[in-house]
Structure 1
Amino acid sequence: MTAANLGDGVSAADLGELAADIAREAGDLARRRRAEGVALAATKSTLADIVTDADREVEQLIRERLHRERPDDGFFGEESGAARGSSGLTWVVDPIDGTVNYAYGIATYSVSIAVVEGEPDPLSWQGVAAAVCAPALGELFTAARGEGAWLDGIRLSVTEGNPAGALLGTGFGYDPATHEGDLALVRRVMRMARDLRRMGSAAIDLSYVAAGRLDGFFERGLNPWDFAAGALIVEEAGGAVSRFDVDAPRPLLIAGGRRVHDRLRAIVEGDGSA
């Protein structure tokens, strides 16, 4: 498949390069602010304030860069909401995915940037390009439609699991009222699992599926900006991504190589033979 050419003559590969460049810059800012914020919180503020300020500052950097480079595109960010554009493209941004990890000094946080065609709604959009930067880990995952998924120049490919069982990633919501349901889902899924990993950043989890570091991933309650970039990276690495219960308060997303994805789907849909 060749690179996707879009209406204004730009290609998916071009947009992927832009996403990657902005994600690197935003990731550097997030990492610097985290290092500076530790000292600041000890003297004149709270760490929660530092994290909130960093989220907003990183998203503002991304938004300003995109406005300069792509003024006709729409924007859909965690911190500043949605703004329609006239080009038919929308940038979907999570400035710091994994803010609890970020606050605690755990390295698995990321900057997630995707550009999609269509309405800013995952039920109708089509991914065009994506970048997930994990600045504390020194890694940048990228994808462009028809161009594959990449990590620092190495092409990524999902796994199909192994006879010992699938290594799966997941996450839980912060509302205690949702924990029992999440744990019940884990119990069902463990029938096919070798083990479970809980990273704390869905964008990293999905990137790890693309890289073959995880065989699959599932989580309820993700927002569009949590998975927009990671989902395209998985798909361009040869995997599949599905969402269920999309009208419910906490839709379920699953991802993996197609064999693992289909087994997860069978379990979610109640097929006990999976």
Structure 2
Amino acid sequence: MRGTGPTPGELLEVALAVARDAANTARSMRAEGVSGITTKSTRTDVVTAADRAVERQVVAALRAIRPQDTVLGEEYGDSGGSNRPAAPGSVRWIVDPIDGTVNYLYGLPQYAISLAAEIDGVVVAGVVRNAATGAEWTATRGDGAFRDGQRLRCSTETDLGQALVATGFGYDSGRRAHQAAVLAQLIPQVRDIRRFGAAALDLCLAAEGAVDAYYEKGLAAWDLAAGGLIAAEAGLRVAGLAGAPPGPELVIAAPPALFEPLHARLAELDAAGGP
């Protein structure tokens, strides 16, 4: 980042203000009843009026505070209106307005606003706020991760057989079948599996050691940006398979002692394969 640009701490302050207001909107709209329900990639991939409204609110707030920045959101894509490369040192915000929309639809208290700031392709600040409970996780690159002001350290578990592992599933039925086959072979070799239905929150739970590790295929940038930084800053190794960066093919977030054995097993099971 260039010396004349914003610091990660300054960007985090912006992210916090915007995400807190957005979380209030999501929670209020949930209390009024979920409406405007449509689907995206499959019949089970839902989007609500609140998803769209919250993203519009976030984009408007960011434009008011930092009009020169661009925004990449789950519902409306790239607000920059161009595929041209960003200028060096420019800021791009990455937002998931409601991560865990199915939980939101059913009234389960596991849905979050995820907002991250990226400079030159590197996420430097992020916040994930559980809109249902108010729990809040933050990180700035190089300065650690925190939950509600308390510094986070990931699990110290070293035995994969004793590891509580979180994961998630895609919306395509073929992908679900492959992921279920992987899970069926993995579960005898770990303590147990947890599936909460919100990737950003899964990464935050791994960051604080509430689960020991997490993996999933199919994450988009808005699923990973803030939560991935929080996980990494809490000491987790966050990567894909065989040296690949974390991304749609696979994300593994695990303490250093667990990463290699979990990675090896997931590679054997072709966790990045399938539809």
**Would you say same fold, with TM above 0.5?**
yes
Matches within 5 A, 1:57-96: 57-84=53-80, 86=87, 87-96=89-98
Corresponding position of 1:263: 261
- Between the aligned residues of both structures, percent identity stands at 40
Residues in 2 aligned to 1:192 and 1:209: alpha-carbon distance in whole angstroms: 19
Corresponding position of 1:103: 105
Q: Which blocks of at least 5 consecutive residues in structure 1 are unaligned?
A: 119-124
Residues 160 and 6 of structure 1: CA distance in aligned 2, closer, same or farther (over 3 Å): farther
Q: Secondary structure at the match of 2:50?
A: helix
Q: Secondary structure at the match of 1:269?
A: helix
Matches within 5 A, 1:5-20: 6-20=2-16
Corresponding position of 1:207: 204
Q: Which blocks of at least 5 consecutive residues in structure 2 are unaligned?
A: 40-45, 81-85, 270-275
Q: Is the 8 A contact 2:158 2:258 kept in 1?
A: no
* Deviates most, 65-74 or 80-89: 80-89
Q: Is the 8 A contact 2:73 2:96 kept in 1?
A: yes
Corresponding position of 2:181: 184
Residues in 2 aligned to 1:13 and 1:79: alpha-carbon distance in whole angstroms: 27
Deviation at 1:250, TM superposition (A): 5.1
Cα deviation digits, residues 116-160 of structure 1 (max 9, x gap): 122xxxxxx211000001021220100001111001110001113
Residues in 2 aligned to 1:7 and 1:92: alpha-carbon distance in whole angstroms: 22
Q: What is the letter of the counterpart of residue 89 of structure 1?
A: V
Deviation at 1:34, TM superposition (A): 0.6
* Deviates most, 251-260 or 99-108: 251-260
Q: What is the letter of the counterpart of residue 29 of structure 1?
A: T
Corresponding position of 1:229: 226
Residues in 1 aligned to 2:187 and 2:15: alpha-carbon distance in whole angstroms: 36
Cα deviation digits, residues 81-104 of structure 1 (max 9, x gap): 114454522111100001000001
* Deviates most, 236-245 or 225-234: 236-245
Deviation at 1:15, TM superposition (A): 0.9
Q: Secondary structure at the match of 1:203?
A: helix
RMSD, aligned CA: 2.4
User: Could you tell me the TM-score, scaled by structure 2's length?
Assistant: 0.85
Cα deviation digits, residues 9-62 of structure 1 (max 9, x gap): 421111112112211110110000011125xx5xxxx65599521111100111
Residues in 2 aligned to 1:203 and 1:72: alpha-carbon distance in whole angstroms: 27
* Deviates most, 47-56 or 83-92: 47-56
* Deviates most, 206-215 or 254-263: 254-263
Corresponding position of 2:195: 198
